[in-house]
Amino acid sequence: MPRDRSHPRTHTYPPMASFTLHGIPVSRGIAIGRAHLLTPAALDVRHYLIAEENVEAEVQRLQQALAAVHRELQTLWNELPKDAPTELGAFIDVHALILSDPMISEAPLDIIRSRHYNAEWALLTQIDELSAQFDEIEDPYLRERKADIQQVAERVLKVLMGSEPLPTAITPAAGDEFQAQMIVVAHDISPADMLKFRDRSFIGFVTDVGGQNSHTAIVARSLDIPAAVGMSQASQLIKQDDWVIIDGDAGVVIVTPSALVLEQYRERQQAALRARKKLSKLKKTPAVTKDGTAITLLANIELPDDCPAALEAGASGVGLFRSEFLFMGRASDIPSEDEQFEQYRRAVAAMKGRIVTIRTLDIGADKPLDQSEHTALNPALGLRAIRYCLSEPQIFLTQLRAILRASAFGKVRILIPMLAHAFEIDQSLAMIEQAKAQLRELDIKYDPEVQVGAMIEIPAAALALPMFVKRMDFLSIGTNDLIQYTLAIDRVDYEVAHLYNPLHPAVLQLIAMTIAAGHKAGIDVGVCGEMAGDTKLTRLLLGMGLREFSMHPAQLLSVKQEILNSDLETVVPQTRKILRAMEPAAIAEAVQALQTM
């Protein structure tokens, strides 16, 4: 975990020359504030030898630090904000798994005993050895998670050194207009630390590493906070308390801007705030294109408590209820049928007759129920989602009964994730019928006509759509995983983040094929991944024929505005040209041109 290096401004420094950094835009908006640097605790580690009689005491000190970080991660998990993105819980689980691995929990203790290094030095020695021999590490999970290993080490070092990573405020220079507004600048920010930013005066993030789907990016979008990642040397070039401007739309960071530039960006910031206030007036406006085509806008939620925000944003219903949030961190206490039913019923009641689409348990591999579970060689390709549910039929049946029971209280749809094979579809449908039969035997009410849909997030599914449209009532495209699997990219691995591209022609073809197949079969097709909430892609998706978007509630009004300003008679022909294009530059240029049509 990065260590706090802030200090009061007690001196007046000569003005620094302004400079601009270019990175990856991941969250919209403009942030203006003072830089708060988070530098690695490893830079301040002392190296000294321990006397023989004090070795076991030093071992115990490191063990206590490891245990403290375990407790801290568990506390963070238990206190996850209800609006936290699903991936954030998975990131915390990953760190807990790494912390339990003998390479971290035991090897540094052996170094203390054999070499008499102090605890901090021993831990860093082990981390350095792991990093230097990364490709040869036997544990495949650790081999692919170098950044996570280093972040875990930072947390342990913080405990050993007694440092607090975040201040309550930076002492401002006299007369600073934005004295409480701070911008975090770091090489990287751990997902656990991200949770601590919510109650502080931080308004933006800048990191050296990261990509469109790094944890910093995911949380920044969820919190609707401007961020720019992949800035390379930002943490070394930016100084403590420097004035910093983040242009989240362009992925640009301006350091020590001139008075003229600062004023220009303040005006842009105020204009954006006015635009957002104007957006709020669209809450009750129907989502209809200029040519009169009605569009359905739904919300993605994790818990029933998210429903008020969805309604406040004007959502027509819930397009994705991520049910795994009810299960995470509860391996020894899996929610009972009654507990699950009550949560689903609450969501259905809160949406007041609007549709609620509940995705069945999407867990396993990189999102284990039990943090001590063995992680697969490649988590993204392992026992997860419907594969996990079909391997644990009692867990699956329990959840299906709970969902069906909730369907008696309102409009409910069941969404099955990660389907790829006909036998998976058939087994899932058979399990739903079994759950219905069990409820009938007990004379428990449910909606016998409840719709069942499939997530299209594996290229094989998009290429074999006839077997889906023949069996399912609706389809929902999970663009996050679809892009990941199509391009063979770990979407949270910053080292390949630059390759994650929703506009890759193969991705666009798969999405267009899915929408077209659904229309031909007369069934609804929606998008519930990140692309649905990206206003730069709204018209492109409309041109493909998409009529149902599901996204984080904070994105809904912006997308609605794009829909209201779109004319399909103009957008559709241009989209067809885009789908015929294969050159990235031509596609990007054409998509940008759509914004002005």
Binding site as annotated, residues:
322, 359, 457, 480-481, 491
> Contact, 496 vs 489, CB < 8 A?
yes
* Of the candidates 202, 262, 260, 193, the residue with the CA atom closest to the CA atom of residue 226: 202
**CA 517 and chain centroid, separation:** 29
- How far apart CA 95 and CA 507 sit, in angstroms, is 31
**DSSP reduced 3-state for 564:** helix
DSSP line for 368-394: -SSTTSPPPSSGGGSS-THHHHHHSHH
> Contact, 286 vs 54, CB < 8 A?
no
- For residue 287, the one-letter residue type is A
* Of the candidates 178, 125, 179, 157, the residue with the CA atom closest to the CA atom of residue 3: 157
359: left (phi over 0), alpha (psi -120 to 50) or beta: beta
Q: 407 pairs with which residues across the strands?
A: none
Active site residue 307: no
- How far apart CA 417 and CA 312 sit, in angstroms, is 28
Question: Looking up tokens 């020894």, which residue turns up?
Answer: 332
* Of the candidates 191, 226, 228, the residue with the CA atom closest to the CA atom of residue 207: 228
For helices 568-580 and 584-594, the axis angle rounded to 10 degrees is: 180
Q: 37 pairs with which residues across the strands?
A: 185
DSSP line for 90-132: HHHHHHHHHHHSHHHHTHHHHHHHHH-B-HHHHHHHHHHHHHH
- How far apart CA 229 and CA 239 sit, in angstroms, is 17
* Of the candidates 366, 415, 429, the residue with the CA atom closest to the CA atom of residue 191: 366
For 82, 351, 391, 405, 430, the CA distances from 439, given in Å and listed in that order, are 31, 24, 22, 8, 14
Give binding residues for phosphoenolpyruvate as ranges.
Answer: 322, 359, 480-481, 491
> Contact, 587 vs 558, CB < 8 A?
no
DSSP label at 11?
Answer: S
Active-site entry in 36, 95, 528, 552: 528
* Of the candidates 378, 387, 448, 446, the residue with the CA atom closest to the CA atom of residue 416: 387
Give binding residues for Mg(2+) as ranges.
Answer: 457, 481
- How far apart CA 111 and CA 62 sit, in angstroms, is 11
CB atoms within 10 A of CB 442: 7
Virtual CA dihedral for 251, 253, 257, 262, nearest 10 degrees?
50
Contacts of 338-346 spanning 24+ positions with Cβ under 8 A: 338/402, 340/398, 340/399, 340/402, 340/403, 341/401, 341/402, 341/405, 341/406, 343/303, 343/304, 344/304, 344/402, 344/403, 344/405, 344/406, 344/412, 345/405, 345/406, 345/409, 346/304
**DSSP reduced 3-state for 348:** helix
Active-site entry in 187, 215, 504, 552: 215
Active site residue 528: yes
Q: 36 pairs with which residues across the strands?
A: 184
- How far apart CA 531 and CA 538 sit, in angstroms, is 8
Query: Active-site residue numbers?
Result: 215, 528
